[in-house]
Amino acid sequence: MNRDEFLALIEPETSIKTNTAKLGDLSVKVAEGVLTVDGHSVSTDGFKALCDRATVPWDLARRVPPHVVRPALVHLIKEREDSETVVFTQRDEIIGFGDPNRNTMTNLSLFQKMEAALGTVTEVEDAKINFFDSTFTIIGDQAVEPKQGDIVKGGIRAYNSVVGRYEPTLSLINYRLVCSNGMVAPDHTSQIGFKVRETTTVEDVVRALWGDVGVFLNQFRDTVNVTLNGHLDDEVLASLFDQYGIPVRARKHVMDLIAEHGAVTLYDLLNHITYVGTHHVHSGGSTHRLQEVAGRIAQSRVDVCSGCHRPLVHAN
């Protein structure tokens, strides 16, 4: 999507309001089966966040009626009455409670700071936006072509929680464009990113990452020259999966892709791993984990054993 489309997508964030309060000052009540805080209704995500702040086990709280959990909630809030929390409200409904010591910002603020470091952004991809767990990727102009017609661009992916579930994180990624019927389907590989702390500006993190984009693209491109010689058997794959902590469910999908399409080079294997991360897992954390694994392998030194012809991956 273009810049204007992305800005329209995140526009609802402008209706979120925040204030900081002590937990002990919050008035938690239940009327007609509905839990309220300071007279405001509370969304499910907001209720979960309140339980987290008050150390009430969510697995228990979500299974019992509000009037049952309220006494425990009030009691534990009382024990932490001097602790402060950030209250996130939208249209008179509380949607989150956050840690005031955590660096929190809107996606708009994060995007604007990224633009300040990179210049005006024209292309934003893979945007999944909600108040609790958002991702979006800014695509740059630098690109490589490991195989004819297979274009890989460099970009920076942002991970952000507008209501402060976690601090903003930025990662340098390779964005592989696979065109089909006018659609652009991404396969990603990402390296470990940087959390944006209060002592580190977004602009500094973006500049540090962007300074390595050319190196990272070339590392990924060069994996096409690492030939696996057809010795990527189950034993080798199991060892590689164990070394990088690839989840068991994802392993089967990767092996199915290898069986169907082969893996002549390390580049083929990495694309199978990232394809599974993009299309076969159902949580953002698992997707990021597989993308990160591929990025770490791409940045490693890979040899092929002269005796058994198996790939040997060494950390740089």
Residue-level pLDDT at 239: 78
The mean pLDDT of the chain is: 82
Burial of residue 227, with CB atoms counted within 10 A of its CB: 0-12 exposed, 13-18 middle, 19 or more buried:
middle
More confident residue, 26 or 152: 26
Local structure of 281: helix, strand or coil: coil
Most confident of the ranges 57-61, 233-237, 257-261: 57-61
Label the pairing between strands 84-90 and 311-314: unpaired
**Calpha distance 256→133 (Å, rounded):** 30
Determine contact, residues 132/159, Cβ cutoff 8 Å.
no
Residue-level pLDDT at 45: 92
pLDDT bucket at 47, cuts 50 / 70 / 90: very high
Neighbouring residues of 234: CB distance < 8 A, sequence distance ≥ 6:
255
Q: What is the mean pLDDT of residues 86-100?
A: 94
First to last CA, the chain: 36
Token representation of residue 246: 């690839």
More confident residue, 125 or 48: 48
Strand extents, DSSP E, 181-241: 183-190, 194-195
- Which sequence spans correspond to the domains of the chain? 13-98, 105-224, 226-314
- On the question of pLDDT at 21 being above 60, the answer is yes
More confident residue, 234 or 304: 234
Say what the pTM is: 0.74
Determine contact, residues 118/210, Cβ cutoff 8 Å.
yes
Per-residue pLDDT of 298-316, as tens digits, reads 766 666 565 655 556 555 5
Determine contact, residues 167/101, Cβ cutoff 8 Å.
no
Residue-level pLDDT at 44: 92
- Of 53, 48, 79, the closest CA to residue 63 belongs to 48
Per-residue pLDDT of 176-212, as tens digits, reads 776 433 333 344 444 445 666 666 788 888 888 888 8
Q: What is the mean pLDDT of residues 261-283?
A: 78
pLDDT bucket at 231, cuts 50 / 70 / 90: low
Which of 82-91, 137-146, 288-297 has the least mean pLDDT?
Answer: 288-297
